Structure 1
Amino acid sequence: MTMKDTQESEPPVYIKLNRVGVTGIKKTIIRKKDGRYNVLLADIKVFIDLPSHKKGIHMSRNLEVTNEIIERAIGPEVEDIELLCIAIAKTCLMKQEATRAEVEMRADYSLPRVTPVTKMPTQEKYELIAKAVAWRDGDNIKVRRSVGAVAEGLTVCPCSIESVQHYVTENFNIDKDIVAKLPLSSHNQRGMGTLIVETDEDERVEANDIVGIIEDAMSSPLYEVLKRSDELKVVVDAHRKPRFVEDVLRMMVKGLVEKYPDLSDTAYVRAQQENFESIHRHNTYAEKSGFFGEIKEELNGNGNNS
């Protein structure tokens, strides 16, 4: 007796669904980048669209495809996990009656760093983001890929520094030009920056570059371990580079354009910055998204700034 394929039966309501799939898939992936290994515990989401005449998708097929692609990749080291996302998305399209597939992976990973003065080696943790969207275009399959990262840093409030400068000048009879050169106190925030870049399949943006762009946009990077001389340099440098949450976001986007000036105009950028306030109960947040070509026009002074 043949069992009924429930997923292929008629739905109670004929409505097409944009994304149906599985979330919370956990897989270990060995990533080798620039001669260095990272063992990633990836959190994976796999979706396809569902036509209006089908009751459901075959969830197990998405899982089978994910297992198959990742197990095949574990032998040779994986360099870019967005390539895994592309492979899974394309295979899901071929094995399911779908016109669009989407795969996203997120995983913590570490990069080697050295402290600024004592040059002590450390490992700093970041979040790696990769995504692929594949869709049918006639007999062909087209793909958009995304790579991104989440990184933390230190930010210093410019407004408080100006207030302290005014206070010192007025109350201690010190020349304002001298005061302007001093690393005066301010309140600080630990900031979290997110930068994701979506491109065509044949374009490439490096996650490690994105981490550097995010960290450079803030007042200072963070370090897991600091000796006293390291701590002094971080504090002094940060107070000489004060930035609002808005400043950080703008510098992040500017840094991307400077690092990848030849990226296609159709690349899409998503940037976010959240600062966790120290003297307020609230946090501050800024966001920018748009096509790369439009952002370059803005930076050149030719864009729509209204």
Structure 2
Amino acid sequence: MRDCAVEILEDVQGRADPRAIAIQQVGIRAVRHPMQFQDRDGAVQPTIAQCNMYVSLPAHLKGTHMSRFIEVLNAHESPFSVESFGAAVEQMRQRLEADSARLEMRLPFFVQKAAPVSGVKSMLDYEVELIGEITPAGYLLTIGVMVPVTSLCPCSKSISEYGAHNQRAHVWVHVRAHETIWIKDIIDLIEAEASCQLYGVLKRPDEKYVTEYAYDHPKFVEDMVRDVALRLREDPRVRWFSVSSENFESIHNHSAYAMIEMEK
């Protein structure tokens, strides 16, 4: 009978490295992975996230174990959320036997919305970014949300005898908080400060409503970021934030842009 002993292969990554230079971040990027995501209402929605995963590497080691990053994703069974994200980062840090770990995820997030007059329901997609980092100093979570909205130009409204040009804008908010702040909380805050929010489906009465609503709430890109910044500055949960808006002009072949960053 043949000897079926398993051959022991060398762990090359575990070799000592004579250069003695520590690496702050080493890992994998642009990994797409299916997962479950949970937010404020408790409902779980399936999504696909693009992930960047890094750990620190001490000066004496040649390399990290890249396959373990994928193993961490495959082993994670519970839904991701802003509350559970830190546990996922810690699992990665432990699995890679590192002092520090950083997990970045970007994923689509869907909200069912009712049109303002007809009430017809449809889904609207937003973009969410979660960045969790564990170092010897502790855990830091940054939550980012991109909300598409309508912006109507105050200058165009003021100088025109009729009508005013408007544009779709992408408003990004990133926050670091003292306590839990949900994705839907950030979406609600941004949409409340837009000339008008967007909907997946609009009937004729809805289209009339959103057109007139935007006309009654004109905002420059500067107004947009300042009004959102005021709301974030007044929110006791938030300790740091950045807000930016890119307005895709309808009468120019360029965008208008503004950004505010503030530590509270």
What's the TM-score, normalizing by structure 2? 0.89
- Distance in 2 separating the partners of 1:14 and 1:37: 46
Matched, 1:189 2:167: yes
> Mapping of 1:21-100 within 5 angstroms?
21-33=27-39, 34-68=41-75, 70-71=76-77, 73=78, 78=79, 81-100=81-100
Which residue pairs with 2:150 in the alignment?
154
Contact 2:249 2:256 survives alignment (8 Å): yes
Which residue pairs with 1:263 in the alignment?
237
- Distance in 2 separating the partners of 1:289 and 1:205: 18
Tell me the CA shift for residue 113 of structure 1.
Answer: 1.0
- Distance in 1 separating the partners of 2:10 and 2:43: 50
Which residue pairs with 1:128 in the alignment?
128
Tell me the CA shift for residue 129 of structure 1.
Answer: 2.1
What are structure 2's unaligned runs of at least 5 residues? 1-6
What's the TM-score, normalizing by structure 1? 0.77
Secondary structure of residue in 2 paired with 1:273: strand
Paired residue total: 257
- Distance in 2 separating the partners of 1:18 and 1:274: 32
- Distance in 2 separating the partners of 1:85 and 1:31: 10
What are structure 1's unaligned runs of at least 5 residues? 169-183, 294-306
- Deviation >6 Å, runs of 4+: none
- Distance in 2 separating the partners of 1:35 and 1:62: 28
- Distance in 2 separating the partners of 1:158 and 1:226: 24
CA spacing shift, 1:255–1:156, aligned 2, 3 Å: same
- Distance in 1 separating the partners of 2:23 and 2:38: 37
Contact 2:232 2:241 survives alignment (8 Å): no
Task: Provide Cα deviations, 1:15-72, integer angstroms capped at 9, x if missing partner.
Answer: 332221112222322334415342111222211122233222111122222222x22x
Which one has a larger percent helix, Structure 1 or Structure 2? 1
What amino acid maps onto 1:133 in structure 2?
E
Tell me the CA shift for residue 13 of structure 1.
Answer: 4.4
Aligned identity (percent) is 30
Secondary structure of residue in 2 paired with 1:185: coil
Task: Provide Cα deviations, 1:122-158, integer angstroms capped at 9, x if missing partner.
Answer: 2111112222111125xxxx21122231110110111
Matched, 1:245 2:237: no
Cα RMSD for the two superposed structures: 2.1
Task: Provide Cα deviations, 1:236-289, integer angstroms capped at 9, x if missing partner.
Answer: 11011111111111111222234x2x226xx22122211111111111111122
- Distance in 2 separating the partners of 1:107 and 1:46: 15
Secondary structure of residue in 1 paired with 2:67: helix
